[in-house]
């Protein structure tokens, strides 16, 4: 009986060993391909990725400890098996932002199924010398590179990495399906213009959880065509908050549906949660938007719908927004506002917001301009539970 049991245990150990080996697969360390600290690792990364992507068993590309310079890199699929990109050290971009076109990524992952990006390392965009020069409040700086682009990635996990000092957006996701972003650190100073933390567009079933984001723009921004996005456990600040939009600027924008932001903290941000659409622009829609269990600490506009979004007066606000907003709820939001206007719901007079609910709001303002208050425009609001400041009524 003991011998049989030992054989069973031995067989189990063998099976586990085989399984572990299969999961580990082939490992491709970039230093084996000639990468050296403080030298450009572009060629070594490309060779390691090509070999790993061609592997018929799960594989791993490894950036070990150390700082490796990187002019730019693009990692394309499809790959023949699940693939992991483990960054333990730091990849550092050049200071010179030249050579990039509109929307380019400094590091791009594209057309990959079952990607894991992890390791605790850092993508250093080295953007300190371009903020306020190439990129200002009035200049979008579209030719500056995005730190990390994820184009048409499916069934993948991005976790436990840092995006530091990106020259433009930190992370952009386009055409993603079933993606999980978790335990990320996204860091840039408050005066780093247009350094959105994570921008999601035309993607489905995305989650962003347990992450720390401080930027010079939106911590998270949601573009058209985004469906079933969950944001949970994110600490945002400084920055412009978490925004849906702006919407309506371009023709043929796809609907935004099913966005949930909950259990998040906002510290010293320009806004808390915000929906923004352009006036005098194009048609669009956003629906099933839920914001709940949110703590605000010294936030400029904690709760905001802005369908007259027109930064620096660059558009005609006389014609109303054509973006239809519906099924929106703001619940269990508390803390402090840095301005007296704590709840500001400005909807389109052409397409008033539909089915808007607020409940259990407790936002305080301690400045010299009086207590916190609410403003509503072109919207009927359903109020449930406690409401501080007092709820506003429909105003055309």
Calculate the dihedral angle through the C-alpha atoms of 118, 233, 230, 203, rounding to the nearest 10 degrees. Answer: -40
Q: Which of 134, 170, 240, 373 is catalytic?
A: 240
CB 155 within 8 A of CB 178: yes
Farthest CA pair distance, the chain: 87
Report how far residue 314's alpha carbon sits from residue 299's, in angstroms, rounded to the nearest whole number: 25
Specify whether the CB–CB gap between 176 and 200 falls below 8 A. yes
187 φ/ψ sector (left φ>0, alpha ψ -120 to 50, else beta)? beta
- Is 170 catalytic? The answer is no
Residue 161's DSSP bridge partners are none
> Which of 164, 145, 246 is closest to 213 using CA atoms?
164
Give Cα 343 to chain centroid, integer Å: 24
Q: From the CB of residue 353, how many other CB atoms can be counted at a distance below 10 Å? A: 24
- Tell me if residue 140 falls in helix, strand or coil: coil
Residue position matching structure tokens 């483990």:
86
> What are residue 88's phi and psi, to 5 degrees?
-95, -40
| Catalytic positions, written as ranges | 240
């Amino acid at each position: 009986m003991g011998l049989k049991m030992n054989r069973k245990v031995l067989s189990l150990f063998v099976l586990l060993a085989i399984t572990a080996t299969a999961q580990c697969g082939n490992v491709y360390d970039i230093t084996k391909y000639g990468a050296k600290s403080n030298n450009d690792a572009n060629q070594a990364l490309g060779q390691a990725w090509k070999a790993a992507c061609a592997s018929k068993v799960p594989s791993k590309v490894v950036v070990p400890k150390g700082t490796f310079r990187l002019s730019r890199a693009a990692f394309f699929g499809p790959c023949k098996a699940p693939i992991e990109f483990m960054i333990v050290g730091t990849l550092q971009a050049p200071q010179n932002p030249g050579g990039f076109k509109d929307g380019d990524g400094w590091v791009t992952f594209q057309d990959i199924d079952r990607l894991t990006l992890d390791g605790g390392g850092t993508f250093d965009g080295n953007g300190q010398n371009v903020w306020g020069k190439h990129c200002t409040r009035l200049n979008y700086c579209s030719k500056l590179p995005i730190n990390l682009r994820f184009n048409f990635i499916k069934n993948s996990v991005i976790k436990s990495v840092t995006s530091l000092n990106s020259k433009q957006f930190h992370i952009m996701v386009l055409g993603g399906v079933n993606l999980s972003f978790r335990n990320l650190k996204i860091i840039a100073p408050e005066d780093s213009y247009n350094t959105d933390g994570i921008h999601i567009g035309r993607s489905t079933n995305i989650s962003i959880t347990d992450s720390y984001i401080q930027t010079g723009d939106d911590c998270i921004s949601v573009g058209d065509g985004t469906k079933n996005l969950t944001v949970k456990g994110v600490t945002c600040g400084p920055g412009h908050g978490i925004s849906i939009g702006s919407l309506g600027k371009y023709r043929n924008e796809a609907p935004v549906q099913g966005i949930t932001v909950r259990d998040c903290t906002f510290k010293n941000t320009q806004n808390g949660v915000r929906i923004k659409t352009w006036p005098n622009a194009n048609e669009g829609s956003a629906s099933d938007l839920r914001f709940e269990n949110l703590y605000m600490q010294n936030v400029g506009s904690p709760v905001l719908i802005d369908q007259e979004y027109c930064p620096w007066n660059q558009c005609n606000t006389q014609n109303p927004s054509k973006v239809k907003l519906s099924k929106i709820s703001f619940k269990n939001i508390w803390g402090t506002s840095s301005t007296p206007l704590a709840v500001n719901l400005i909807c389109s007079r052409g397409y008033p917001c539909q089915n808007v609910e607020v409940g259990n709001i407790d936002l305080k303002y301690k400045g010299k301009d009086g207590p916190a208050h609410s403003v509503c425009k072109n919207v009927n609001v359903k109020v449930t539970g406690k409401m501080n400041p007092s709820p506003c009524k429909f105003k055309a």
